[in-house]
Chains A and B, each alone.
Chain A
Amino acid sequence: MTISLIKPSNRVAPAPKPLMSRDCGPAGCEVDWLTSRRHEADGDIEAFTDFSLKMGWGDGLPLVPPTDARVRAFLAQNDRYPDEVIAALPPTQVECTVEKIVINAVMAGAPPESLELLIAAVRAIAEPDFELYGVNATTAPVYPAFIVNGPIRDQLNIPYSYGCTGGAATKATAIGRALRLIMRNVAGQVPGVTSQTTFGSPGRIGGLLIGEWEERSPWAPLAERRGVSGNAVTSFGTMGTMNILDTTSQAASDFLEMIGKSLAYVGANCFSPSMPFCEMMVAINPICAEIIAREIPRIEDVQERLWRFASVPADLLQKRHREQLEAQGRVRKDGRIYATPEPKDMVMFVAGGLGGLHALGLHSFGSSLTQTKPIASPIPADKAQAAE
């Protein structure tokens, strides 16, 4: 056998489609566009949170009751019909409509301005190559991380500096949580029911939604390097966050060696025979990125350098483990096993506070491949109708 290279397939998620006539516009219809079943509940947040747990809708944190008024108000600030099907989400392949996205967004407390980001994120995880079926079902703690590029980062106050992966007080947390509720309530990622995750992860509550600090990056924005300019979201199935501290290195190669070697631990999915390949996502802080780019200007060369260090000697593994990987052709001529098939599979971006010192490793689940989607420009419904 030979190394399985990561090449995107030609499979694409089905195109979104409307279910009903569009004759009267999203805000001007007499008909009731909201088709979800109504339930009677207490309007009080504490009582509703208890109710949502009983109904299997919640994550344990307080939830905002998704009343007709709140859902309609959210929709009214956007130009989307509620019955528009955005994607079919496994394992059920049920259709995730704008209405379901909005209901979950309201419950999470996400702002109406985030709808197009939410839609792009759902489209990203619905792509066949994201392999949501495995991500939802697995015993692993994997969850989709989302990296946002473009001006929308600042419009939605999505953090890309201090505490960007957790702790920064912005509504990005609510947007991330909305995506988690969609995963739970539409895709059906429920621990012990449709997800066998052994330990889960804090990231399965609030999600992981961060920006790239493009202005401090010496390289082109991540999404642009992946073929999408401007506002875009990149989804990556991550096993969680790994911090890598380096208070000693000075040169680019030293930093990359430290980061690469830290990423390569034998219990990572990238060294498992159960996964044919893996990607790796790494965030470099702005200070470190500047130092690296001074010595190694091209991002491709940085990825290549990092890739060489993100490997382990095959004899580090126990015999039975090593034999399985050898049988799969994953031990290279130099006697090493590499975390990813090729340097391009080390997905890198710039984020983090200016204190420097730390890098962020996001290990991949394996079969789930990174997806990047453009974020449409939101057009308020009233302006859209005026244009009609």
Chain B
Amino acid sequence: MARVMVLDPTATRTDDITSPGPDAGALAGKRIGFRLDNIWRSWDWISELWADKFRAAGARVSFWRCAGRSGEEGERMNRELKAFLETIDVAVVGLANCGSCTGWTIRDAITAANAGLPTTAIATKNFETFAHELAGRGGRSGLRVHVLPYPLNELARDEVMAIGEAHYQGVIETMGAHIAAKEAAE
């Protein structure tokens, strides 16, 4: 059969930031912001647990809960996110635990990282590869992603809290954060 030349039907972006961005560094005195959603109670629980630990390490913690991403509500969410990012020094963004919510989590994490904040996205194991794929397609393949077990939201609160406890040191490392010896001992 004759060989022909065909035109490529795909389009891909060529720009990419492979750096994970700045480390969170010492947590004492930092303002750490959690991005929550309206879906995953397990992420509410884990973020509360980690927030307590961040506070114990000398950080101040705030939360922003996103809602709809279209219509006037979507416009409001964009404004709120921008305002929220201006009030924090470090962003912890979750939860990538489904298709669209991984999309929105990574999109918001990229917004935070592009604002220059040390940023870590939180994903469950099943959505880890997907989170990295979307980060790359969003132009930040180096985005920090900390991975929690999957399934997560189907577990009881005490089981989720145990996972949060077990992953605290891991998320600190992913964030590039460190805790002073005194706080760590507490």
Instruction: Mark the stretch among A14-22, A87-95, A259-267 that contacts chain B.
Output: A87-95
Please tell me which stretch of B49-57, B72-80, B162-170, B178-186 contacts chain A, meaning at least 4 of its Cβ atoms lie within 8 angstroms of it: B72-80
Q: With A40-B4, A43-B1, A273-B39 as known contacts, state yes or no: A186 contacts B100, CB within 8 Å.
A: no
Q: Which residues on A sit within 8 Å (CB–CB) of B134?
A: 91, 137, 194
Cβ contact within 8 Å between B9 and A67 = no
> Are A133 and B103 touching (Cβ within 8 A)?
yes
Which of chain B's residues have a CB closer than 8 A to the CB of A94? 11-13
- Stretch of A31-39, A148-156, A169-177, A308-316 contacting B (4+ beta carbons < 8 Å): A31-39
Question: How far is A263 from B54 in the complex, measured between Cα atoms in Å?
Answer: 47
Residues of A within 8 A of B138 (CB): 91-93
Count of residues in A whose CB is under 8 Å from the partner chain:
68
B116 within 8 Å of A by Cβ? no
Interface residue SS majority, chain A: loop
Determine the distance from Cα of A139 to Cα of B6 in the docked complex, in whole angstroms: 33
The interface stretch among A99-107, A109-117, A226-234, A379-387 is: A99-107
Task: Number of B interface residues at 8 Å Cβ cutoff, please give it.
Answer: 38
When each residue 1-32 of chain B gets 1 if its CB lies under 8 Å from chain A and 0 otherwise, what string results? 11111111111110000000000000000000
Residues of A within 8 A of B103 (CB): 91, 133-134, 136-138
A133 near B7 with CB under 8 A, answer: no
Task: Give A135's nearest chain B residue, CB to CB.
Answer: B100
B9 and A185: CB pair below 8 A? yes
Known A66-B6, A66-B7, A94-B12: A139·B100 in contact at CB below 8 Å: yes
A79 to chain B minimum Cβ distance, whole angstroms, is: 20
Which of the candidate stretches A1-9, A214-222, A281-289 sits at the interface with the other chain? A1-9
Least distance between A146 CB and chain B CB atoms (Å)? 18
| Bound: A88/B2 CA distance, A | 36
Q: How far is the CA of A9 from the CA of B138 in the complex (A)?
A: 23
B38 with A276: CB separation less than 8 A: yes
Q: Which residue numbers of A lie inside 8 Å of B, CB to CB? A: 4, 6-11, 34, 36-44, 47-48, 56-57, 65-68, 71, 91-97, 99-100, 103-104, 107, 128-131, 133-140, 181, 185-186, 188, 193-197, 273-277, 328, 367-369
